[in-house]
Chain A
């Protein structure tokens, strides 16, 4: 780090997240004054233009890459058109212990007097909840699934290389051509298309205007600046902002600034999931880097400083906080922006380059919560690239996570994408696969797989509340074989996935008609040529996902029943169910037996691993290929973020000896502490899943630093990764911390504020996690060898 970036980093770390009502107020003003004047997409675009025109802008002292979503770093915008915080929500955000957001009186007043009176009855969340049927609400309330789109817009979107080749003025020309080509004689949607295209055009103007305002600000700051060096920088910043993103960037600095304006535009326009991501940043930056190194206008150190300034910008943007029940409990500041390193080039050759290594150094040095980073490792990636990655991982920051670039391509080919688009794709969010710049790949919600077994064991009744949630699929006494029980499980699964998908489709239709995203559409092929919005199926590919949670727990639970009840017959199913309902009260020996003497997933034992495959297949067949409303289909992913803790809290004791209310297994990792045969056995078990049929799986392994401290340790882990990927494993990440460190951090949070741990698909500050989640991370098996 340079003196500059050290200071910028420190300021970013020290800034306190707070809610800014500015966006909400501007939006309210605009909609109140203009309601009904234009079509929905044009209203959206004009309101975005209004925001870009009016919002406070700032250029921080010493900054090289400029622009903030809020009025200043870590001031977080809200999106009342999607979901409107209540006064109570804001008070909780201000006062909660973890991941709080300061809310000052002026903000509260603005909400009370202006924002809530308008949006309180108009937000999309209310429309969605009103439209969804009671069966959906019931399943949602009892923790069978969650819903992504009730708080944030469809997102998980990543940019490809287009803004480095073209400017927004070029896109405006394409839009004009598309409008020109509309056929009002035969196309019944021609008017709708025109409105979408006009909206896209306005959104380009908005972003160019936003950049231009920064150019003017930089110029006026330069005029007042007495430091000649800074003056020059400000003039260059002004020139950058005047040129990009209207035009394609001409140098490395402009390339970063251009992305950053696009990023800000996407996250200002709407609050899409996972913010926005630059995708294969190393590949996109390489031509600029090489050209400027050649002409001598940039040095390696200069490039590094610009990248460090760029990283700070991400960290300045905590995720917009949620509303409702989750405001009290859910907490992370990370907004999941994720940078891909390495991977493949569109021609299939190795994509890692000098900038990949430079970025690895920046990640290692900056040690920031955001942006997240991941390495796409292919068969063709050099070992040196993997070793460098593991050296960064060894520092214990939890990232980069490592993905199998070859599997990522194969997964996308199975989904019907072209080879070139698949190679140019990668991963974002936690582990999700998408065709960058060409796809709306939408996560719709987590699904509690373990609850399906619980309902199957209780004839559809939720044992925690006594409510008949699912269909009557038979009492515990009625199952004469494991197969019969499994069919009941499958019936519950099918029932609730039907409810989920019906709800999803309804939400998709509401978004398509009510909440277009014109600027995101400009950046996503083929929205312009189709004249269709990103949220309405305009993207080239439109896969939607449901994320299965608790595969380790459900596998172990089924293994326990199969073995102890149906094969060894040491107790009957009704007896077992009675013990579960009592949370094993008075029968600790039974709980211990089930916990310790069940063949479990994660030990390379086919008895358990075959059951894992059985559940995976059942889930896959219920979901994969079912149509969404955007000419795409539903698919599965296996990742939990932190939902395994929530789902565990609403799930009773399970036959694997897990107690009521405790977390479920996380991702496709084994149940915490159930894997006892070391990391190769975990890898082998996880490798038995058919990852290629998913849109992403998440395997988390926690290593103590000693296991990576010497050359043989590093080589060993490198081989684990390569071997897992030979089995088509999708992703693996390593938490390199020891249990003692975590316990100390739990006891003395103030001394461990910067301790970042890998939570699930993302990293977070350990001290910002709930006690439950902290404990869960501590109990995850710490692999060691002797």
Chain B
């Protein structure tokens, strides 16, 4: 696959694997987590976003739109209004991008990767929902000897995961919760396949970091954390566990897409450092190298 849809490339990422990394965000995800920090990552199509605080009400977008700036549902994300917008208040999120284009961007920071032992991280969305594109990207990076990480919730058939595993130096494997019903409620999907994928991946890959967002009101119970710790301890190939405290820095994002923030998101908060340390202890007692991240 020569191209796919990505919605962002974040250079100088320090929290998506070792060293200085360039994180490539592939667009589209089947899950609908209410705490999702990248709501623009969910749809598999390009979208237009609008930031009120940057808008100077010049109406350039209105004049540019073939549809007369139709309701959002009618928007084809053609890019005419975002091109016309002088301030960047209107943005096109997501574009069809070739493997080579992505690679050229990644290569720009190669020097920093070398010095810091960093590399590239493919994130999303769910990057495994564009398996052929992802595989081509991984192969291209391998060709340049660039360390590769894939940040995934493994929302894919196990074969897909096993297929790319030889091209991946590090898996950042996201687990949300252990209880299937709770998982369904929080993300719109059950977790049976995810846990099964973890087990299968562990048999063929030996550098997996499990990443767990700690979200008050969802998975911040002792029972949940113990169950997650059990899963992590049981799986082969797990080298590290990262507990990522929820924070609300993404609060402005849904509005840009014309969405309401979820009621759950409005009610939750950042977990206390003590709570995080308590949870981390549960994992450590199971022999897992566990760290608390700077935030999800």
Q: Which residues of A contact B (CB under 8 A)?
A: 588-593, 596-597, 604, 677-681, 683-684, 706, 710, 712-713, 715-716, 718-720, 722-723, 726-727, 783, 785-786
Residue of B86, B88, B111 near A723 (CB, 8 A) is B111
CA distance A593 to B56 in the complex (A): 11
Residue of A592, A597, A680, A710 near B12 (CB, 8 A) is A680
B20 and A588 within 8 A (CB): no
B115 and A719 within 8 A (CB): yes
CA distance A590 to B85 in the complex (A): 10
Residue of A588, A596, A677, A723 near B112 (CB, 8 A) is A723
Is B259 on the interface with A (CB-CB < 8 A)?
Answer: no
A588 and B58 within 8 A (CB): yes
CA distance A278 to B203 in the complex (A): 62
Please classify the interface of chain A as helix (H, G, I), strand (E, B), loop, or mixed, using the class held by over half of its residues. Answer: helix
Q: Chain B: which residue is nearest A679 at the CB level?
A: B12
Given known A588-B58, A597-B86, contact A716–B115 (CB-CB < 8 A): no
With a cutoff of 8 Å between Cβ atoms, the chain A residues found around residue B86 in the complex are 589-593, 596-597
How many interface residues does B have (CB within 8 Å)?
24
CA distance A710 to B11 in the complex (A): 19
A727 and B56 within 8 A (CB): no
A785 and B19 within 8 A (CB): no
CA distance A783 to B118 in the complex (A): 19
* Chain B 105-135 per-residue mask, 1 if CB under 8 angstroms from chain A, else 0: 0001101100110100000000000000000
A589 and B60 within 8 A (CB): yes
Shortest C-beta distance, A246 to chain B (Å), equals: 50
Shortest C-beta distance, B51 to chain A (Å), equals: 12
B88 and A596 within 8 A (CB): yes
With a cutoff of 8 Å between Cβ atoms, the chain A residues found around residue B19 in the complex are 715-716, 719
CA distance A325 to B73 in the complex (A): 62
A786 and B12 within 8 A (CB): no
Q: A589-B60, A592-B87, A678-B12 are in contact. List 13 more A-B contacts (CB 8 A).
A: A589-B86, A592-B56, A597-B88, A680-B108, A680-B112, A713-B14, A715-B19, A716-B20, A718-B116, A719-B19, A719-B112, A719-B115, A719-B116
A684 and B108 within 8 A (CB): yes
Given known A678-B12, A726-B111, A726-B115, contact A710–B88 (CB-CB < 8 A): no
CA distance A679 to B10 in the complex (A): 11
B20 and A719 within 8 A (CB): yes
Task: Choose among A683, A722, A723 the residue with the greatest number of B CB atoms under 10 Å from its CB.
Answer: A723
A720 and B112 within 8 A (CB): yes
A589 and B115 within 8 A (CB): no
CA distance A722 to B112 in the complex (A): 8
B115 and A723 within 8 A (CB): yes
With a cutoff of 8 Å between Cβ atoms, the chain B residues found around residue A678 in the complex are 10-12
Shortest C-beta distance, A725 to chain B (Å), equals: 10
CA distance A785 to B109 in the complex (A): 15
With a cutoff of 8 Å between Cβ atoms, the chain A residues found around residue B42 in the complex are none
Is B53 on the interface with A (CB-CB < 8 A)?
Answer: no
Task: Choose among A679, A710, A720, A785 the residue with the greatest number of B CB atoms under 10 Å from its CB.
Answer: A785
With a cutoff of 8 Å between Cβ atoms, the chain A residues found around residue B111 in the complex are 723, 726-727
Is B258 on the interface with A (CB-CB < 8 A)?
Answer: no
CA distance A637 to B35 in the complex (A): 50
Residue of B87, B115, B294 near A596 (CB, 8 A) is B87
Task: Choose among B58, B86, B88 the residue with the greatest number of A CB atoms under 10 Å from its CB.
Answer: B86
Shortest C-beta distance, B248 to chain A (Å), equals: 12
Is B95 on the interface with A (CB-CB < 8 A)?
Answer: no
With a cutoff of 8 Å between Cβ atoms, the chain A residues found around residue B20 in the complex are 680, 716, 719-720
With a cutoff of 8 Å between Cβ atoms, the chain A residues found around residue B108 in the complex are 604, 680-681, 684
A589 and B11 within 8 A (CB): no
Please classify the interface of chain B as helix (H, G, I), strand (E, B), loop, or mixed, using the class held by over half of its residues. Answer: loop
CA distance A710 to B295 in the complex (A): 13
Interface of chain B residues 1 through 33 with chain A (CB within 8 A): 10-15, 19-20
Shortest C-beta distance, A83 to chain B (Å), equals: 47
* Count of chain A to chain B residue pairs whose CB atoms are closer than 8 Å in the complex: 74
A785 and B112 within 8 A (CB): no
Q: Chain B: which residue is nearest A721 at the CB level?
A: B115
Shortest C-beta distance, B26 to chain A (Å), equals: 18
With a cutoff of 8 Å between Cβ atoms, the chain B residues found around residue A597 in the complex are 86, 88
Shortest C-beta distance, A428 to chain B (Å), equals: 28
CA distance A678 to B23 in the complex (A): 12
Shortest C-beta distance, A704 to chain B (Å), equals: 12
CA distance A716 to B109 in the complex (A): 13
With a cutoff of 8 Å between Cβ atoms, the chain B residues found around residue A684 in the complex are 108-109
Q: Chain B: which residue is nearest A683 at the CB level?
A: B112
With a cutoff of 8 Å between Cβ atoms, the chain B residues found around residue A593 in the complex are 86
The 3 A-B residue pairs with the shortest CB-CB distance in the complex, in nearest-first order: A719-B116, A593-B86, A592-B86
B294 and A722 within 8 A (CB): no
CA distance A115 to B179 in the complex (A): 88
Given known A678-B10, A678-B11, contact A716–B116 (CB-CB < 8 A): yes
Q: Chain B: which residue is nearest A682 at the CB level?
A: B12
B112 and A589 within 8 A (CB): no
With a cutoff of 8 Å between Cβ atoms, the chain B residues found around residue A720 in the complex are 12, 20, 112
* Chain B 263-296 per-residue mask, 1 if CB under 8 angstroms from chain A, else 0: 0000000000000000000000000000000110
With a cutoff of 8 Å between Cβ atoms, the chain B residues found around residue A592 in the complex are 56, 58, 86-87
CA distance A711 to B243 in the complex (A): 17
Shortest C-beta distance, B172 to chain A (Å), equals: 14
A589 and B56 within 8 A (CB): yes
Q: Chain B: which residue is nearest A715 at the CB level?
A: B116
Interface of chain B residues 41 through 68 with chain A (CB within 8 A): 56, 58, 60
CA distance A783 to B86 in the complex (A): 23
Q: Chain A: which residue is nearest B114 at the CB level?
A: A723
Shortest C-beta distance, A764 to chain B (Å), equals: 28
Residue of B10, B13, B58, B109 near A589 (CB, 8 A) is B58
With a cutoff of 8 Å between Cβ atoms, the chain A residues found around residue B10 in the complex are 678, 785-786
CA distance A785 to B11 in the complex (A): 9
CA distance A593 to B88 in the complex (A): 8
With a cutoff of 8 Å between Cβ atoms, the chain B residues found around residue A722 in the complex are 115
CA distance A375 to B37 in the complex (A): 40
11 residue pairs from A and B, CB less than 8 Å apart:
A589-B58, A596-B87, A680-B20, A681-B108, A684-B108, A719-B116, A719-B118, A726-B115, A783-B12, A785-B10, A785-B12
Task: Choose among A712, A718, A783 the residue with the greatest number of B CB atoms under 10 Å from its CB.
Answer: A712
Shortest C-beta distance, B121 to chain A (Å), equals: 13
B294 and A710 within 8 A (CB): yes
Shortest C-beta distance, B55 to chain A (Å), equals: 10
With a cutoff of 8 Å between Cβ atoms, the chain A residues found around residue B295 in the complex are 786
With a cutoff of 8 Å between Cβ atoms, the chain B residues found around residue A726 in the complex are 111, 115
Task: Choose among A590, A715, A719 the residue with the greatest number of B CB atoms under 10 Å from its CB.
Answer: A719
CA distance A201 to B84 in the complex (A): 74
With a cutoff of 8 Å between Cβ atoms, the chain B residues found around residue A716 in the complex are 12, 14, 19-20, 116
With a cutoff of 8 Å between Cβ atoms, the chain A residues found around residue B294 in the complex are 706, 710
CA distance A712 to B118 in the complex (A): 11
With a cutoff of 8 Å between Cβ atoms, the chain B residues found around residue A712 in the complex are 14-15
Shortest C-beta distance, B14 to chain A (Å), equals: 5
Shortest C-beta distance, A369 to chain B (Å), equals: 31
With a cutoff of 8 Å between Cβ atoms, the chain A residues found around residue B115 in the complex are 719, 722-723, 726
CA distance A681 to B15 in the complex (A): 18
With a cutoff of 8 Å between Cβ atoms, the chain A residues found around residue B13 in the complex are 785
Shortest C-beta distance, A380 to chain B (Å), equals: 15
With a cutoff of 8 Å between Cβ atoms, the chain B residues found around residue A591 in the complex are 86
CA distance A589 to B115 in the complex (A): 43
With a cutoff of 8 Å between Cβ atoms, the chain A residues found around residue B109 in the complex are 680, 684
A680 and B56 within 8 A (CB): no
Given known A719-B116, A723-B112, contact A786–B249 (CB-CB < 8 A): yes
* Chain B 80-109 per-residue mask, 1 if CB under 8 angstroms from chain A, else 0: 000000111000000000000000000011
Q: Chain B: which residue is nearest A591 at the CB level?
A: B86
Shortest C-beta distance, A617 to chain B (Å), equals: 23
CA distance A280 to B170 in the complex (A): 45
CA distance A713 to B15 in the complex (A): 9
With a cutoff of 8 Å between Cβ atoms, the chain A residues found around residue B87 in the complex are 592, 596
CA distance A720 to B118 in the complex (A): 12
Q: Chain B: which residue is nearest A783 at the CB level?
A: B12
